[in-house]
Every structure is written in structure tokens, then in C-alpha cells.
Homo-oligomer: A and B are copies of this chain.
Amino acid sequence: MPVSDPFAVMNTVGLVAFALVGATKAIREEFDLFGVTTVGLATAFAGGALRDVLVGRVPLALQSFGEVALALLGVAFAVGVGVVRDDADDHPLTAVADAVGLAAFATAGAIVATDHGLGAFGVVAVATINAVGGGVVADLLLDRAPFVLFEDFYASPAVLGGIAYVATSAVGAPARAAAIGCAGVVVLARIGALTYGWEIPTVHAFARDGRS
């Protein structure tokens, strides 16, 4: 993996981070070792597999053993932490790992979508799907409602990152700079939302004055 390949860097970071986060959640729910591994791999692979199917290619995770090894590394780390700590799911470092994975996969999605010639909306949509796909699948497997995505300012950082990627590319920035910009926007927006409790207004909030 040459460091000059932004996709490889982002994909590696995303796979390890999301496998770690997914496996940690499954350990907290007292899944057995098979379930923990499955949730970890599914969290790591779901977004990328959906991205690959949408752009019309066989998912990388099914073709390359390197992808599997990276995800298993994340699962192994989660299991190691889970043996010594009961509450890893709530630890701030898990939230940071999730934000890093979100940023890495949003960027990986934006790169793949751009390489496949999609337009601006396609790049933002694929970046978002790549980023949030893992969390949605983890929630479904853990029997949690996936719509928590909307309450937690979780998908919107990925959307903002995708827009940053499109905008920096449009003004002629090289792929590596666009990748760094995208990943930076996602991490800052996600950590900022967690730290300061950012919220987006509802339609009813706008209507309140007129109706009450």
C-alpha cells in the first residue's frame, strides 16, 4: 500500500476502525464469539460492499484477503479490550474510532465514485452510503433502530465531507488534498456534534410561531 494512494490509506483506516467499533458493540450485547466476528466484519464491509455494487463491481471484500485480514485485526483488538474492560462500548475512544472510520469511509466512497465518473450528487451520495452503511447494518444486526443515524448528527458529517470533496476537486485540488479535506471535515463535524450537542432544526420548529 503506497502512502501516495489515498484510497488505500482511507480504506485501511476505515476497515480496522469500523471492525473494532462493530465488534465492541456486539461484545457489549453479549454476542458469542461467532456473532462478534460477524458483526465486526459486517460493520467493516457493509458500506464498501454497497458502494461497490452501486458502481457495478464485485465488492473488494470478496476478492481480497487483505481486506479480511484488516477487519479481523480490528475484531481481535476489540476482543482483547473486551476481556479486560466491561464498558468499552461507552469509552470516548470508541466514539473517536467511529468518527475516524466514518471519515475514512466517506473519503474512500468519494474517491471511488469520482473514479467511476459519477456527478456531484452521486459522489456525495456514495460517500455517505459508504460511511454510514456499516453503522446501519451493525444497528440492524444488534436489533437497534437504524434511524438513530438521524438523531446523532451522524450521516450529516459524511454529507458535508462529500460536499467538501466535490468542492475542492472542482477548484482543481489534487486527489490527495481533496481526500484530506473530506476526512478532516467529517472528523471535525462528528466530534464537534458529539462535544457540543449540535442539532438541526425541525420543520415544526419553523412552524411553531405561525401555528401556536
Asked whether A202 is an interface residue with its Cβ less than 8 Å from the other chain, the reply is yes
Chain B nearest CB, measured from A186 CB (Å) = 15
Q: Are A203 and B83 in contact (CB under 8 A)?
A: yes
Among B34, B116, B125, the residue within 8 A (CB) of A61 is B125
The CA-CA distance from A96 to B133 in the complex, in Å, is: 32
Decide if A59 touches B54 in the complex (CB within 8 Å).
Answer: yes
Whether B206 pairs with A83 at a CB distance below 8 angstroms is yes
**Do A147 and B143 touch across chains, with their CB atoms under 8 A apart?**
yes
Do A145 and B146 form a contact, CB below 8 Å, given A58-B55, A207-B82? Answer: no
CB distance from A130 to the nearest CB of B (A): 12
Which A35-88 residues have a C-beta within 8 angstroms of B?
35-36, 38, 49, 53-59, 61-65, 68, 79, 82-84, 86
Contacts of A126 in B (CB 8 A): 62
Residue from A34, A53, A147, A159 whose CB has the most chain B CB atoms within 10 Å:
A147
Are the C-beta atoms of B210 and A83 separated by less than 8 Å? Answer: yes
Question: In the complex, are the beta carbons of A203 and B27 less than 8 A apart?
Answer: yes
Chain A's interface size range is 35 or more
A152–B49 Cα gap in the complex (Å)? 26
Q: Are A204 and B122 touching (Cβ within 8 A)?
A: no
Chain B residue with the shortest CB-CB distance to A122: B62
Complex CA gap A27/B121 in Å reads 23
Give the contacts of A164-212 with B (CB-CB under 8 A). 199-204, 206-207, 210-211
A86 adjacent to B211 (CB under 8 Å): yes
